[in-house]
Structure 1
């Protein structure tokens, strides 16, 4: 069996720099520390060619079922090693066979990750707009309080709006901090899946 790990992919995952499309820090709506990578590349996570021709129906269904289990967030991929071993016993240890399983997992998890990245951008854009609204409310409140005879009814409305918007802004920031970790969690899971499947790939003769 080939038990060597693709160290380059491992390093890329740990650094959060898996490139597949545009990846830079120039997007003002991107709030995360790690760079924005909208889509992952399967070629950087699985070192073997994956045949483009469709698999036999039985293999395809079996591979999809295994991949679905490997993609479950609450299941450690290593806990599924016996199931992968049973799959290999039925279908062989070829890189193309294990590659089909990885492709199913990759397609599922990368689509989920793409939706999360898009959601982070949308939430961040909302935060930018809300921050502008908070600034405008503060300015209007300052103008009111600078008057000789402030409209205290208006002041009450502005203060209530400011308090509410600040609560919403703070809560959203906490959500963004959590969401920013999620794409990397998915990347690490895909790497772990690839490493597990790799241990069942026979070295070419």
Structure 2
């Protein structure tokens, strides 16, 4: 491929790539995932024990529970290990089993729900940045095509702009690919809460 044809190809690629994200759900124009945008985990789908509402502000007053919640919520902790630790905490030691279970589930919900919401908000911020980035790429690509149409164009300026468009388009595409993986994170967090809450529920049942 000659240098001129390569520059023309870069401009054509930038023009052809669908840079602007199309929202799956028009109610949430910045949500980039095919999964439905769910703002908050539903406790009731996993937990049928006593309401955790009154425990959401006090669960971390107990240092043992706070430390355990941090360990169980961390995705680096294997889920089967986390389930076992949660069950052992409720079953063993002193104290009312139901109250311990409620405080633990409250802590897991509070922690994982906030973590999940942070990821959701981060994905939407990334969509807005991508939208602005796309506008910039499209403007540069249009300028590149305009320069290429001029016989007396400064070839160094053309080459520099072509390189900028090429790299920006690559970065945009890499970010878009990473979003597909990031979209799984809220699901993983939600599934983790459900699994741990159900494990604790089984102790009470």
What range is the shorter-chain TM-score in?
0.7 to 0.9
Secondary structure of the residue aligned to 1:199 is helix
Aligned-pair CA distance for 1:144: 1.2
Is 1:74 paired with 2:76? yes
The 8 Å contact of residues 140 and 161 in structure 2, kept in 1 or not, is answered as: yes
CA distance in 1, matches of 2:144, 2:65: 62
Aligned-pair CA distance for 1:41: 3.2
CA distance in 2, matches of 1:194, 1:123: 31
Aligned to 2:9: none
Secondary structure of the residue aligned to 1:178 is helix
Gaps of 5+ in 2: 1-24
Describe the shift of the 1:134–1:79 C-alpha distance in structure 2 as closer, same or farther (beyond 3 A).
Answer: same
Aligned-pair CA distance for 1:157: 2.1
Is 1:101 paired with 2:104? yes
Describe the shift of the 1:40–1:135 C-alpha distance in structure 2 as closer, same or farther (beyond 3 A).
Answer: same
Is 1:88 paired with 2:91? yes
The 8 Å contact of residues 66 and 84 in structure 1, kept in 2 or not, is answered as: no
Instruction: Note the 1:127-138 alignment, pairs <5 A.
Output: 127-138=130-141
Q: 1:179 aligns with which of 177, 182, 185?
A: 182
Gaps of 5+ in 1: 1-23
The 8 Å contact of residues 30 and 121 in structure 1, kept in 2 or not, is answered as: yes
Instruction: Note the 1:129-148 alignment, pairs <5 A.
Output: 129-148=132-151
CA distance in 2, matches of 1:147, 1:59: 71
Aligned to 1:167: 170
CA distance in 1, matches of 2:73, 2:111: 7
Aligned-pair CA distance for 1:179: 0.9
Aligned-pair CA distance for 1:68: 2.3
Aligned to 2:197: 194
RMSD: 2.7
CA distance in 2, matches of 1:126, 1:192: 34
Aligned-pair CA distance for 1:56: 9.3
